[in-house]
């Protein structure tokens, strides 16, 4: 059931096409920071949207999201239906980003608040990339290779590497080559190719999987209404008819111990979603590479359409894998997913590659494996480029203000290599986590709230000042790092537990979404209180001040309260009825999904 001749031919053709595109881009490159980090700011909307989607669809979807579909059904579709967050990026934030002409999100925060805020956000972002995107990408590459080529071994004398580590290193090396050489331009154009391969290949997994199972009706019958219900996992038994938080002992216990409780999903998930889609360098860098506000907005709306597909090309395949195993229609899957007659959550992380291995015919299997590699590589290439951009533009260029463009590009390449090595060292922690997607959401839940707070309050309230921003970032970051420090021994050391009832035990056992909400509330209070207790920021830019210059703390054009008529006129001229209609269509599809997946 492994890869056969036609599979390897399909994979070879994919890599040939990918390398051809990358080589074409590399030959056209210019040795400047603007070209290397933002592709010369001339990306069209179709490329922007495809690259945003490909950057997002990575290891957490290939392994984690399909795994959650196998264990919990459509519960995690809540996160994928947050495509509406991309509409917030398109209509609320893109106008400010397009006018500012910044390289990074921390740079935008500097223009809104202060240089200190920029450096703190850069540190938080780089830490987040190591703990989530880089390490998770490496780990998922290993899972895919371990599932498809379990017998692969490499004996180096001093160490023997199995298929997991061989796959992890191969994904990094192949991705790193074109990312380091070509910069963002190579990343986004290869992302466009990878988006097509990924969507087509993953759709084929759903089609062939349903065929093997006996159709959609069989899937619903075997999985049951609970796995097809977006709402039931969020509502405690006996509470189906009410959303009121009655403070009974049973209900409180469910809020803190239930799978995906509604309080967390209703309030915490949108915070993480808005941070990720609207303020994270990893995503927004593509919009920054657009030539103007119109292209950036349309690219974001196009990405919102694409973002709706993972429900059907990742979650549903995970459910199909579970149904094939539970029904006994495919004994190989039952053996692969169950331990002692019980569904094994850790084994379910391989649901998607297992389905690829056992359901698809020769040739098609190779195309889908190429799609798997495409998602892994596009996600990693994006975070490599984002990390090097943050380090080079927010740290190195500040310490070396007169450095040449060539030197900036070279430093960016070195920074990428260092981030990869650090990410490799964090993989053992992920292996001990409850599930890949759960791990990712948990870590992002600890780091996202203060960033969400300073960007959103900074845009909507001109009264927020640099002292409030810095205080919120530092306090929120320390609270998040504290939770990570408490959780790490539990994940790394087998059998390790804190003394029941102790402070560390309580912190470790609070559901991650509730702890995230706690960080969010504290960050809001800190930012508002410190801002109002300290001086009022300067609202207007000096005469002749431009958006591409840092003018102290002047806020002209950086908040809704300081926009002038020229700003509004230019922004209004960048969209028409087509942009509005496309946005409404995205919202309609999201509503239809919520209505359909109700059990």
Of the candidates 580, 91, 54, 47, the residue with the CA atom closest to the CA atom of residue 309 = 54
Considering only residues 240 and 36, tell me which one the structure prediction assigns the higher pLDDT.
36
Q: What is the mean pLDDT of the chain?
A: 78
Residues contacting residue 530 through CB under 8 Å, at least 6 positions apart: 465, 467, 468, 471, 472
CATH of the domain at 170: 1.20.1730.10
Q: How many domains does the chain have?
A: 1
Region for 544 from its dihedrals, namely left if φ exceeds 0, alpha if ψ lies in -120 to 50, beta otherwise: left
User: What does pTM read for this prediction?
Assistant: 0.79
pLDDT band of 456, cuts 50, 70, 90: very high
Query: Facing residues of 431 across strands?
Result: none
CB-based contacts of 568, cutoff 8 Å, min separation 6: none
Q: How confident is the model at residue 530 (pLDDT cuts 50, 70, 90)?
A: very high
Q: Report the distance separating Cα 299 and Cα 304, nearest Å.
A: 9
b vs e for 24-56, b when ≥16 Cβ sit within 10 Å of the residue's Cβ?
Answer: ebbeebeebbbbbbbbbbebbbebbbbbbbbbb
**Mean pLDDT for the stretch of residues 538-552:** 48
Of the segments 279-288, 312-321, 577-586, which one has the largest average pLDDT value?
577-586
**Rounded average pLDDT over 133-142:** 70
For residue 273, name the pLDDT band (cuts at 50, 70, 90): confident
Q: Is the pLDDT of residue 593 over 50?
A: yes
* Residues 165 and 427: beta-carbon distance below 8 Å: no
Condensed to tens digits (0 to 9), the pLDDT of residues 362-406 reads 778 888 777 777 767 777 777 777 777 788 877 777 777 777 767
pLDDT at 156: 67
Could you tell me what percent of the chain has a pLDDT over 70? 77
Average pLDDT, stretch 131-141? 70
How big is the CA angle at 117 (ends 116 and 122), to the nearest 5 degrees?
Answer: 100
At residue 182 the predicted structure's pLDDT band, cuts being 50, 70 and 90, is low
What is the pLDDT at residue 237? 47
Query: Residues 43-55: what's their mean pLDDT?
Result: 85
Of the spans 91-95, 170-174, 194-198, which averages the highest pLDDT? 91-95
For the chain, the helix, strand and coil percentages under 3-state DSSP, each to the nearest 5: 75, 0, 20
Residues spanned by the domain of 580: 5-596
Q: pLDDT-based confidence at 163, cuts 50/70/90?
A: confident
In sequence order, the 6+-apart residues with CB closer than 8 A to the CB of 308 are 80, 81, 83, 586, 589, 590, 593
CA torsion 453-459-464-468 (nearest 10°) is 40
Task: Report whether 172 contacts 380 (CB < 8 A).
Answer: yes
Give percent of the chain with pLDDT exceeding 90.
15
Question: Which of 191, 178, 179, 184 has the alpha carbon at shortest distance from 19?
Answer: 178
Q: What is the pLDDT of residue 251?
A: 39
């Amino acid at each position: 059931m492994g890869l056969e001749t036609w599979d390897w031919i399909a994979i070879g053709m994919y890599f040939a096409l990918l390398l051809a595109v990358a080589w074409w881009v590399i030959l056209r490159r210019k040795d400047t920071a603007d070209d290397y980090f933002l592709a010369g700011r001339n990306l069209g909307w179709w490329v922007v949207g495809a690259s945003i989607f490909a950057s997002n669809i990575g290891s957490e979807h290939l392994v984690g999201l399909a795994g959650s579909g196998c264990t919990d059904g459509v519960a995690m579709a809540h996160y994928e239906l947050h495509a509406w967050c991309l509409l917030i990026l398109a209509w609320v934030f893109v106008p400010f980003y397009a006018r500012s002409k910044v390289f990074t999100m921390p740079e935008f925060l500097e223009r809104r608040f202060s240089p200190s805020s920029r450096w703190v956000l850069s540190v938080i972002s780089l830490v987040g990339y190591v703990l989530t995107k880089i390490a998770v990408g490496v780990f998922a590459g290993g899972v895919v290779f371990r599932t498809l080529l379990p017998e692969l071994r490499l004996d180096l004398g001093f160490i023997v590497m199995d298929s997991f580590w061989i796959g992890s290193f191969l994904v990094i090396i192949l991705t790193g080559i074109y990312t380091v050489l070509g910069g963002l331009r190579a990343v986004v154009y290869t992302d466009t190719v990878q988006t097509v391969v990924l969507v087509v290949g993953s759709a084929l997994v759903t089609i062939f999987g349903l065929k093997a199972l006996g159709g959609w009706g069989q899937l619903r019958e075997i999985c049951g209404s609970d796995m097809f219900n977006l709402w039931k996992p969020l509502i405690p038994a006996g509470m189906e008819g009410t959303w009121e938080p009655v403070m009974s002992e049973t209900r409180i216990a469910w809020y803190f111990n239930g799978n995906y409780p509604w309080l967390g999903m209703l309030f915490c998930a949108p915070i993480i979603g808005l941070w990720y889609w609207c303020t994270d360098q990893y995503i927004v860098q593509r919009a920054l590479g657009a030539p103007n506000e119109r292209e950036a907005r349309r690219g974001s709306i196009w990405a919102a359409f694409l973002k709706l597909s993972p429900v059907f090309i990742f979650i549903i395949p995970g459910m199909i894998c579970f149904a094939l195993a539970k029904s006994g229609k495919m004994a190989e899957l039952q053996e692969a997913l169950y331990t002692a007659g019980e569904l094994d959550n850790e084994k379910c992380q391989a649901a998607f590659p297992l389905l690829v291995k056992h359901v698809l015919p020769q040739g098609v299997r190779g195309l889908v494996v190429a799609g798997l590699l495409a998602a892994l590589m596009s996600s990693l290439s994006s975070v490599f480029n984002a990390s090097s951009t943050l380090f080079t533009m927010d740290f190195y260029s500040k310490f070396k203000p007169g450095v040449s463009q060539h030197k900036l590009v070279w430093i960016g390449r070195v920074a990428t290599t260092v981030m990869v090595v650090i990410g490799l060292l964090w993989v053992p922690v992920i292996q001990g986590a409850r599930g890949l997607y759960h791990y990712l959401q948990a870590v992002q839940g600890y780091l996202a709230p203060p960033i969400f707070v300073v960007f959103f309050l900074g845009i909507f309230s001109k009264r927020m000042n640099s002292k409030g921003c810095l205080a919120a970032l530092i306090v929120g970051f320390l609270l998040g790092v504290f939770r990570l420090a408490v959780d790490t021994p539990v994940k790394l050391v087998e059998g390790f537990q804190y003394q029941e009832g102790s402070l560390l035990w309580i912190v470790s056992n609070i559901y991650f979404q509730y702890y995230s909400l706690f960080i969010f509330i504290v960050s809001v209070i800190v930012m508002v209180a410190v801002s109002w207790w300290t001086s009022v920021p300067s609202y207007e830019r000096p005469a002749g001040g431009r958006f591409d210059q840092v003018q102290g703390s002047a806020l002209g054009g950086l908040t809704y309260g300081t926009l002038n008529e020229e700003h509004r006129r230019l922004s209004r001229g960048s969209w028409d009825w087509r942009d509005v209609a496309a946005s409404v269509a995205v919202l309609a599809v999201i509503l239809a999904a919520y209505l359909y997946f109700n059990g």
